[in-house]
Amino acid sequence: MPDQPTYDCFLSYSRHDDEPFVKKLRDALGKRGFKVWWDKAAMEARGTTFHDEIIEAIKDSRRLVLVCGPEAVKSTYVRQEWEYAQKFCKVINPILRLGDYNAECIPAPFLKENTPDFRQDIEFERKLAELERLLRSDDLPIGTLYGVPLLPTHYVTRQTALDAVEKLIRTDSFEPVVVTAKRQVTAVHGMGGIGKSVLAAALAQDCDIRRRFPDGIVWVAIGKTPEIATRLGDIGVTLGDSRDEYPDETRGKVALGRLLGEKSALIILDDVWQHAHADPFRVPSARSRILVTTRSRQLAMQIGAQEYRLDVLTEAEGLALFAERLDLDLGLDTPDEPDTGAVGAHPDAPAPIATLRAIIHELGGHTQAVALAAAQLAGEGVAYAPELLARLQKRRDGETPFKDLNLGDDDDRDFNLEAMLSLSYDDLPDDDLRLRFRALGVFALEGTFDAAAAGGVWGDGDVDDAADALRELERRSMIVRREDGRWALHGLVRTYARALARRAHELDDTLARHFGYYFRLHGDYDTNNDEDRHPLISIDFDNLRAALDWGFEHEPARAADLVVGFDYYMLLRESLTTQRTLLERGREAANAAGHAQGEASILLRIGNLNVREDRLSDARQNYEQALPIYETIGARLGQANTLVALGDLNVREDRLSDARQNYEQA
């Protein structure tokens, strides 16, 4: 249970409005039993920077009382305070001290809020009673975020899109409607790389949405090849169910329906490629909702969802991204005003805003491409903008160096991204970093990795060398760092990296190092019996699956051993469907390689799996196949374990004399 706030309210105000009034308000609230944070009492001066103690005080306060007036609207400090309160999902209670009920005296986000009128001192006691009622009202519970990624470091709000999707999700909150199956699911669709996942993450972190779904907001990465039963179980476990209720897709859907029927939760299915992957999550629930991100409008129609098409960046959004990334003052109130010719104060020579606009248009407003351009300018300086524009135009007039790349099944190429990514790739400082970028294409499409894993793929002896290279690629926006400190590539960027490695004839060797790293890390059965290691295996599981896809074909014996190595982890954390898929593939690989020990070990485990699913005759067959293999190779412990398993099976079928014989043999 989270700690209770120390303060009932935080007073946010401008000293240039009416500081004596704020002291009077603080004293009056204190007499009524409220514990109030007021900077004059808590700290002598705000100083030249926004103090950490102010941020901590806001986090440690139940509500923020915003004393509104002309100077409060202008104050950077006041704005920072209420923005931090919004970030922490604190309730904000505005009151009007000076001026009128308009945007010059009340910050725009609060114009429609209940704002007590404290302008007349004679009305102070009556208005104080009104404020007290507001402060004593119950706070709506805030839904916990589960697995929702943090927003990018240089995130720019796309407010129009956010408002539109929020309205779709909360339709029944705005209007009294019958909750149909269509209204339960909202799909955000659009081309790859334009920010669908970021939009979904921003929506999940919106405080109104979190209050609308008090039982939690659960992020589920789907991707191209998901294990649906496991993902269903992940939701169930997150929201308090037992994973045993989710052994396969059919029973998992039933269990999820029962669970969500009693809850108000938002399930975000990120990067869905097939409607069959979304269908199992669509269960009847009066208060829970599903948000899907996908590249395919057809998929959105197939699952009968409310649709929102996310488009490329507008010019205003693109300029905002440049301003944020480059820490620039554009010198415009709105990006649509006439061009004044300069970006504003910056240590580099100023670049015309017209040039930045032209870059946005040259890149078609493609979000990922504009982000790469902004990173390029951040490294080279704003004065580089005209040259960057010229290079982009040259590529549009000719061909990009990536035009001949074979993107394989992931072919979803976009010229704008291709042009900018090829420039970013060409401008990497040396061949070593280009090779490193190409090699990152072997990591799983939905997976993340740490510096040790990157170093393993790159062949680094020192993990610090790998970390340095990753930071340089991050600085150029070619990879991203997640909130847990791990790294990832955007799906389209990863596709290009992999294709580049294929063209350079490096892919097979890099895949071999990828497999070798995860085999060494997770291939030991005894080590993996320590359940403290299971969270690490879970984080790496997408990459383990990717490594096995290569290993089953190229190193089948070691791949079979790797499956056995994390069998206990799968028993506790993966669905029966996932276990069966990997065990069957492992058995085929061991058989093809003539790896008797591996084949017998997997047969024993498949038998145990069949017992769990009440497929007892199949289990007996598995055990009876494993036993002679163990006998032939002289693996006495394997024989004993298989005999015990047969004995347990015979007890279950009431064949007690056979069971006694099995146990005595064991």
**Is residue 372 scored above 50 in pLDDT?**
yes
Name the DSSP letter for residue 11: E
pLDDT at position 479 is 94
**Is residue 175 scored above 50 in pLDDT?**
no
CA atoms of 400 and 423, how far apart (whole Å): 9
Residues 575-628: pLDDT tens digits? Answer: 999 999 999 999 999 999 999 999 999 999 999 999 999 999 999 999 999 999
Per the prediction, the chain carries an average pLDDT of 89
Averaging pLDDT over each range in 5-19, 114-128, 471-485, which range is the top one?
Answer: 114-128
Residue that wins the pLDDT comparison between 403 and 660: 660
CA atoms of 78 and 265, how far apart (whole Å): 33
Residues 82-109: pLDDT tens digits? Answer: 988 988 889 999 999 999 999 999 998 8
Q: Report, as an integer, the average pLDDT of 529-547.
A: 95
134-143, 284-293, 333-342, 585-594: which has the minimum mean pLDDT?
Answer: 333-342
Show the tokens assigned to 630. Answer: 């163990």
Rounded to 10 deg, the angle between the 491-503 and 415-426 helix axes is 60
Antiparallel, parallel or unpaired: β 217-223 and 185-189:
unpaired
Distance of CA 322 to the CA centre of its chain: 23
Show the tokens assigned to 474. Answer: 């991050």
**Are 425 and 431 contacting, i.e. CB atoms less than 8 angstroms apart?**
no
pLDDT at position 351 is 58
Distance of CA 154 to the CA centre of its chain: 16
Three-state DSSP state, 144: coil
Give φ, ψ of 94 to 5 degrees. -80, 145
CA atoms of 286 and 318, how far apart (whole Å): 39
Query: Which residue has 């976009």 as its token pair?
Result: 414
Residues 221-276: pLDDT tens digits? Answer: 998 889 999 999 999 999 999 999 999 999 999 999 999 998 999 999 999 999 99
- Residues in Cβ contact with 92 at an 8 Å cutoff, skipping those fewer than 6 apart: 63, 64, 66, 82, 85, 86, 110, 113
Which amino acid is located at 623 in the chain?
Y
CA distances from 122 to 117, 118, 125, 128, 600 (A): 11, 9, 8, 11, 88
**Are 14 and 69 contacting, i.e. CB atoms less than 8 angstroms apart?**
yes
Residue that wins the pLDDT comparison between 332 and 466: 466
**Is residue 46 scored above 70 in pLDDT?**
no
Show the tokens assigned to 55. Answer: 């941020």
99 Rama sector, left if φ>0, alpha if ψ -120 to 50, beta otherwise:
left
pLDDT at position 395 is 87
pLDDT at position 141 is 87
Show the tokens assigned to 277. Answer: 């992957």
CA distances from 415 to 364, 392, 400, 412, 498 (A): 9, 11, 8, 10, 17
Residue that wins the pLDDT comparison between 375 and 139: 375
Show the tokens assigned to 595. Answer: 């790896």
CA atoms of 92 and 95, how far apart (whole Å): 10
pLDDT at position 339 is 44
Walk across the sheet containing 91-96 and list its strands: 36-37, 7-12, 61-68, 91-96
pLDDT at position 472 is 95
The secondary structure element, H or E, covering residue 481 is strand 480-481
342-356, 469-483, 608-622: which has the minimum mean pLDDT?
Answer: 342-356
pLDDT at position 411 is 59
pLDDT at position 332 is 47
Show the tokens assigned to 286. Answer: 């009066």
pLDDT at position 183 is 77
Q: Report, as an integer, the average pLDDT of 140-157.
A: 88
Show the tokens assigned to 411. Answer: 């072919």
Paired with 68 in beta bridges are: 96
Residues 375-386: pLDDT tens digits? Answer: 999 999 888 999
pLDDT at position 349 is 43
**Is residue 42 scored above 70 in pLDDT?**
no
CA atoms of 548 and 471, how far apart (whole Å): 28
